[in-house]
Amino acid sequence: MTNVNIRNMLGLREVVNVSGTMTGLGASIAVPEVAEAMSRILPQFVEINDLQRKASAVIARLTGAEAGFVTASCSAGITLAIAGCMTGDNLAAIERLPDTTLLKNEVVVQMGHVVSYGAPVDQAIRIAGAKPVLVGQATSAFEHHLEGAINERTAAAVYVVSHHVVNYGLLELSRFAEICHARNVPVIVDAASEYDLRGFLEAGADLVLYSGHKFLGGPTSGIVAGAKEMVRHAFLQNAGIGRGMKVGKESIYGVMAALEAWEKRDHAGIRAREKSYLDLWREALGAYGGVSAAIEADPTQNPLDRLRVTVDPTVTHITAWDLVDALARGNPPVIARDHEVEHNYFYLDPCNLHPGQEQVVAKRLGEELDKARASNEIIATSLSDRNRRRFDSLRRWPD
């Protein structure tokens, strides 16, 4: 059965992912060590809390934290971490959540960090029963904003590291943490898609949350790492609201395998291979007027570059978003990174390709640009209609 194409068997499209580590596409290619580890533990019974102790030791070694555990997702990690800051080890309070009567229940977060990763950041806070308190404005947050938002009801502060956040005018993590700590407020960092497993704790975070299934190449999961007492308080939520966010033995052990494989990964070799993909695509697009392609560094300083493809529809006869949609409809479907496509550009992310797929991407780009160039009219659909179609499709699921 190892040679069976599982997507064909299930009737699923064979997607080529140049969007990145997106949950909606399955996040990443799991490394072989993870698949092997998960298959080994699946037939076995284990005591989950003891397995989590073993995971804690691996997480601590890789991150420099005092302790850690594995949960269902990074989003779950946000909720559990905040819950732990509100309840401590009070088991009765843990069982009462999301009722926060008599608890500190406010969580400060910069307004420019309240983004959606598929669901809103502030919803992950509210699920615990906490009240998000927005700091500053969307494009500016200063020290006095944060200081003025903290009071006797403040349970925690959340800091988000993501390409989605506003990347100017906001407080940097070290100063954010310094202000919070001066007022005895713990800092939780959402670093779901980040390579850096140590820097956020070193910069002042008390808890850091990572995705186990993005750059680590593990199973769908989240990692909570940081100060031992705070990790313990978050872990205890598994006896309360965390029950619905529980993680299986296979995912815990899979994350352990992913972290250990990360230590041995040839990061420089991977980056060199990804750079060759970017060069290939940039050269292929150079043959088309109205298209400019530039290699850009990751905005959160991950060791990863992407190709920014800017489209002039008056020359190419197609808008950037229509080109993205055409790529996604084709055979095979090529899914590009389109979160800023209304500005007439999209990105090609090289980090999730199987060997040979870089050539497929180059070929598909050429096919769709050639079709558009042959069109007598500019292909320009309504952006609002495009967005509406996406949500209408979601509302019709599973039809």
pLDDT in tens, 73-118: 999 999 999 999 999 999 999 999 999 999 999 999 999 999 888 8
Regarding whether 303 and 257 lie in a shared domain, the answer is no
The verdict on 12 and 70 lying in the same domain is no
Burial of residue 47 (CB within 10 Å: 0-12, 13-18, 19+) is: exposed
Q: In what order do the strands lie in the sheet with 291-297?
A: 291-297, 305-311, 345-348
Q: Is 47 found in the same domain as 182?
A: yes
Is 75 in the same domain as 123?
yes
Of 245, 264, 283, at which residue does a domain stop?
264
CATH code, domain carrying 80 = 3.40.640.10
Domain boundary residue, one of 202, 233, 264? 264
- Checking if the pLDDT of 28 tops 90, the result is no
Q: Which domain holds residue 195?
A: 32-264
Domain identity same for 160 and 37: yes
- Same structural domain, 258 and 279: no
CATH number reported for the structural domain that contains residue 287 in this entry: 3.90.1150.180
Q: Select from 269, 282, 303 the least CA-distant residue to 358.
A: 282
Tens of pLDDT, residues 149-161: 999 999 999 999 9
Q: How many domains does the chain have?
A: 2
Residue 234 resides in a domain = yes
Q: Which of 236, 264, 292 is the last residue of a domain?
A: 264
Report which of 26, 345, 362, 14 is spatially closest to residue 214, judged by C-alpha positions. 26
- Report residue 2's pLDDT band, with 50, 70 and 90 as the boundaries: low
Question: Are 231 and 289 part of one and the same domain?
Answer: no
The whole-angstrom separation of Cα 86 and Cα 117 is 24
Check whether residue 240 and residue 272 sit in a common domain: no
User: Do 297 and 249 sit in the same domain of this protein?
Assistant: no
Measured N-to-C along each axis, helices 32-41 and 249-264 cross at an angle, to the nearest 10 degrees, of 150
**In the prediction, which pLDDT does 389 show?**
86
- What is the Cα 177 distance to its own chain's centre? 22
145 shares a domain with 202? yes
Model confidence band, residue 313 (pLDDT cutoffs 50, 70, 90): very high
Structural domain includes residue 1 = no
Mean pLDDT of all residues in 49-69: 96
In a domain, 281, yes or no: yes
Mean pLDDT of 117-126: 91
Q: Is residue 309 scored above 90 in pLDDT?
A: yes
